[in-house]
Amino acid sequence: MCGIYGYIGPRNGVKIAIDGLKRLEYRGYDSAGIGCIVDNGIDCVKEVGKIGVLEAVVDGLTSHAVIAHTRWATHGKVTRENAHPHLDETGAVAVVHNGIIENYTELRNKLKEEGVHFHTETDTEVIAQLIARIYEGNFLRAVQQAVLLLHGSYAIAVLHKNHPDQIVTAAAGCPLVIGVGAHETFLSSDPNALAHHTREVIYLEDGEVALIKADETQVFDATQAQISKKTDALLHDIGTVSKGDFQHFTLKEIFEQAQTVKNALFSRASEEYGTVAFEELHLTANELLTIKRVLIIACGTSWHAGYVAKYLLEDVARIPTDVEISSEFRYKNPIVEGGTLVIAISQSGETADTIAAVREVKAKGAYVVALCNVQGSTLAREAASCLFLRAGPEIGVCSTKAFTSQLVVLTLFTLLMARLRHMSKNEGHSFLHAMHELPDQIDEILGHADAIHTIAKKYSQYNDFFFLGRRYMYPTSLEGALKLKEIAYVNANGYPAGELKHGPIALINETCPTIALAGDKVTYDKLLSNLMEVKARHGKIIAITDAGHGALKDIADDIIVIPKTLDELAPITYSVACQLFAYFVALERGAEIDKPRNLAKSVTVE
C-alpha cells in the first residue's frame, strides 16, 4: 500500500523523488519521507500528511542518490518517527519498505538481546538494523544476507553512507520496478511513475536483489547468483492526470463513464456474428468450449464485479461459476478441476491477496485470465491472458469507472461464451445492441446529477442505510453500499431484498433509509413486497428505477428514474446512479472524497 521511489544519477534526486512520490500518493498518504546521500552521510526528512507537506520542508535539499516513501500505516501509528526511511542506530543505513515483515518481533527481540536499540514501532526498522549488523564492508552482500532472514512480503530500497554511489533494492511479494535512463537510474513501486523519465524498465521478481548505480544495474537471484534480466518497454506515459473543472477526481471519473464504457467495448464486439473477440485472450474457440466451470477471484469492488459475473455466466452462458474473495480463497486448499477457467479481477493488478490466490491456482494447473486496468502490473504479467479495462488511470481511491468497465468486459466475455454454446446470432445481436446503448444511457443518468444531489442532500445526515436488490441488483446493492461507506463514512449494508425479513429488518425504522435498486424485471414485484415491509416499519425509501413510477410511486419517498436496459446490463447503469448518490452524500458531509481516511488505492499487503 505504501509507495517507494528512488533515484541515482547526475541530477537533483530530491526534486525527482518528490515528483515521483506525488505520482505514487494514491498508494498511501499518512506520511512521507525522503532519505538521501549528503556530504557527511545520510540525511532523512519525514513528515506526517500529504506529499505537499514534505515538499515544503525539503526545499533547498539536493542529492544525487535518494530513496523516498509514501506511507499507509501497518505497524505503528501515523507519526513522523514511524514514517520512512528508517535508519539503523548508527545512522549508516536507511531503508524504505513496502509490505509486512511477519517475523519482525522475533528479529527485533534477537537484535535487542545483542544490544541494538530501537527507536520506532515499525517492522521496517528491523530491516535497517539487520543490514547494519550484518554489514562488513560489502553493502550488496549485507542486504542479500538480511533478506534471507525476512518472512513476509517486501519491496525495499536501501542506502548506505559508505556507498554513496549505490542503492540496493530487493523484492518479494511486492512490486518494484527499476527504470533505466541515460546515466541515471530510477526505481518505483509503479511503472507508471517512471514512464515520464524512461520507457525501459526491469521488473524485480520475488527473491531478487539489485545493485543500482547511475550507469549500471546488476540483478541477483535468491541464491545470490548474478542473472541477466531482460528490459521491458513501457507502452505509454499516463502523464499527469488533472481534475479539470471537477471538484474531485472521483466526480471526474464518474463522469468519464460514457467514454470508458465505449473504450471497453471498442473493437471487441463482432457485429457481423453477434459475438465478441478479445485480441488479448490467448484461447481458441475450441479451448473455450472445454471450459466447464469458471472460478472468479477478486477483492472489494472487483469482487462485486465478479459477483455480477456469476449471475451473468450462469444465467446467460449457463456455465457454473463460483466467486471468491481472494483473502479467504488463498488460505483454502482449493479444488481446481480440469476444465476450470480462473478469472482474476483487479483494477490495480497489485492487490496482494488476489496475486497470492492467482499463484495458488496456477500452481494447481489452472489457466488464469486477468481483468486489469494497469499495463505492466504484477497481475497482468502473472496471468496467461489479460483483458484490459481501458478505463484510463483511476485516481480516486473509490473505484467507479474501473468497476463499470469490469462489468462491460465481463459481460462481453459472457456473450462470447454464450454464443459459443447455445445463444443464437439474433440474440447475440440484440445483446450487443443493448450494450452499445449504454454510453448514451450513462450520459442521461449523469444529466440527472443535480436531481440526485438534491435527494442525497436530503438524506446526508442519516448514519445508517440499507441498499436492497434482488438477482443482478443484489451484487449491485453491495457495491452501492460500499461506495457510501468508503467515501461518506456512513454505515451502509447491501442486502438481498428477500433476506431482509430473516433478521436485518429489526434495524429498519425512521432513522435508517433504504435505497431500493428496482432494476430487475424478473423480481420486480417481489421487491415491491419487500419494500412494503420496510414502509410498514416507517423506513424511508429512495427508489432507483427504470420502470417509470407505477406502484413504486406510492411506496417510495424519493425516486431516481434512469433509462431502461436489459436486466443483465442494469448493474452498470444503476451503479452510476449509486456512485453519484454516494458522492453527493460525501460532499454534503464534508468527507475527504478522493483519498478517504484509512484507505489506499492499491492494497499490496494482506
Residue 432, H or E segment: helix 425-446
- Contact with ligand M6R (CB under 6 A) among 31, 129, 189, 301: 301
Closest approach, Cβ 6 to ligand M6R, in A, equals: 24
Any residues with CB less than 8 A from the CB of 210 and at least 6 apart, and which? 168, 169, 170, 178, 202, 204, 217, 218, 219, 220
Is 340 a binder of ligand M6R (CB under 6 A)? no
Closest approach, Cβ 377 to ligand M6R, in A, equals: 9
- Residue range at the interface with ligand M6R (CB under 6 A); choices 60-68, 397-405, 529-537, 567-575: 397-405
Look up 2 and say whether it is catalytic: yes
Specify whether the CB–CB gap between 117 and 22 falls below 8 A.
Answer: no
Residues paired with residue 8 on neighbouring β-strands, in sequence order: 65, 185
Is 299 a binder of ligand M6R (CB under 6 A)? yes
List the one residue out of 441, 439, 444, 440 whose CA is nearest residue 263: 439
Q: Which three cell numbers stand for residue 184?
A: 541515471
Gap between the Cα atoms of 91 and 159, Å rounded: 10
Closest approach, Cβ 306 to ligand M6R, in A, equals: 10
Closest approach, Cβ 305 to ligand M6R, in A, equals: 8
- The residue sitting closest to ligand M6R, measured at its beta carbon, is 300
Q: In the complex with ligand M6R, which residue's Cβ is closer, 217 or 354?
A: 354
Is 351 a binder of ligand M6R (CB under 6 A)? yes
Q: In the complex with ligand M6R, which residue's Cβ is closer, 479 or 558?
A: 479
Is 300 a binder of ligand M6R (CB under 6 A)? yes
Closest approach, Cβ 348 to ligand M6R, in A, equals: 3
Is 376 a binder of ligand M6R (CB under 6 A)? no
Q: In the complex with ligand M6R, which residue's Cβ is closer, 88 or 394?
A: 394
Task: Give CA angle at 300 (408, 68), nearest 5°.
Answer: 105
Across 511-594, the runs of DSSP E, i.e. the strands, are 514-518, 541-545, 558-561
Q: In the complex with ligand M6R, which residue's Cβ is closer, 120 or 378?
A: 378
Is 397 a binder of ligand M6R (CB under 6 A)? yes
Distances (CA, A) of 60 to 53, 63, 156, 192, 422: 14, 10, 26, 27, 68
Q: In the complex with ligand M6R, which residue's Cβ is closer, 170 or 389?
A: 389
- Residue range at the interface with ligand M6R (CB under 6 A); choices 101-109, 266-274, 344-352, 430-438: 344-352
Q: In the complex with ligand M6R, which residue's Cβ is closer, 63 or 70?
A: 70
Is 346 a binder of ligand M6R (CB under 6 A)? yes
Task: State the Cα torsion 502-504-506-508 to the nearest 10°.
Answer: -130
Closest approach, Cβ 299 to ligand M6R, in A, equals: 4
Any residues with CB less than 8 A from the CB of 424 and at least 6 apart, and which? 274
3-class secondary structure, 223: coil
Q: In the complex with ligand M6R, which residue's Cβ is closer, 458 or 485?
A: 485
Residue from 2, 386, 512, 578 carrying the catalytic annotation? 2
Residue from 22, 46, 483, 601 carrying the catalytic annotation? 601
- Contact with ligand M6R (CB under 6 A) among 260, 347, 405, 575: 347
Specify whether the CB–CB gap between 480 and 432 falls below 8 A.
Answer: no
Specify whether the CB–CB gap between 370 and 385 falls below 8 A.
Answer: yes
Cis peptide before 85 (omega within 30 of 0): yes
Closest approach, Cβ 480 to ligand M6R, in A, equals: 11
- Residue range at the interface with ligand M6R (CB under 6 A); choices 73-81, 154-162, 392-400, 547-555: 392-400
Look up 50 and say whether it is catalytic: no
Gap between the Cα atoms of 435 and 429, Å rounded: 10
Closest approach, Cβ 278 to ligand M6R, in A, equals: 19
How would DSSP label each residue in 52-68? HHHHHHSTT---SEEEE
Closest approach, Cβ 405 to ligand M6R, in A, equals: 11
Any residues with CB less than 8 A from the CB of 284 and at least 6 apart, and which? none
Gap between the Cα atoms of 256 and 391, Å rounded: 9
Rg (CA), the chain: 25
Is 405 a binder of ligand M6R (CB under 6 A)? no
3-class secondary structure, 603: coil
End-to-end CA gap in the chain: 10
Q: In the complex with ligand M6R, which residue's Cβ is closer, 300 or 513?
A: 300
**Binders of ligand M6R: how many residues, by CB under 6 A?**
15
Closest approach, Cβ 188 to ligand M6R, in A, equals: 17
- Contact with ligand M6R (CB under 6 A) among 98, 354, 414, 514: 354
359: left (phi over 0), alpha (psi -120 to 50) or beta: alpha
Q: In the complex with ligand M6R, which residue's Cβ is closer, 300 or 496?
A: 300
- Contact with ligand M6R (CB under 6 A) among 144, 188, 348, 477: 348
Is 494 a binder of ligand M6R (CB under 6 A)? no
- Residue range at the interface with ligand M6R (CB under 6 A); choices 261-269, 295-303, 361-369, 384-392: 295-303
Q: In the complex with ligand M6R, which residue's Cβ is closer, 495 or 583?
A: 583
Specify whether the CB–CB gap between 128 and 159 falls below 8 A.
Answer: no
* Residues of this chain, 463-492, that bind ligand M6R according to CB under 6 A: 482, 486
Q: In the complex with ligand M6R, which residue's Cβ is closer, 299 or 517?
A: 299
Helix extents (H) in 114-206:
124-134, 139-147
Any residues with CB less than 8 A from the CB of 328 and at least 6 apart, and which? none
Gap between the Cα atoms of 139 and 162, Å rounded: 8
- Contact with ligand M6R (CB under 6 A) among 24, 58, 194, 398: 398
- Residue range at the interface with ligand M6R (CB under 6 A); choices 77-85, 100-108, 154-162, 297-305: 297-305
Helix extents (H) in 193-346:
249-255, 257-265, 285-289, 300-315, 326-329
Q: In the complex, which residues of this chain contact ligand M6R (CB under 6 A)?
A: 299-302, 346-348, 351, 354, 397-399, 482, 486, 603
Active site residue ranges: 2, 601
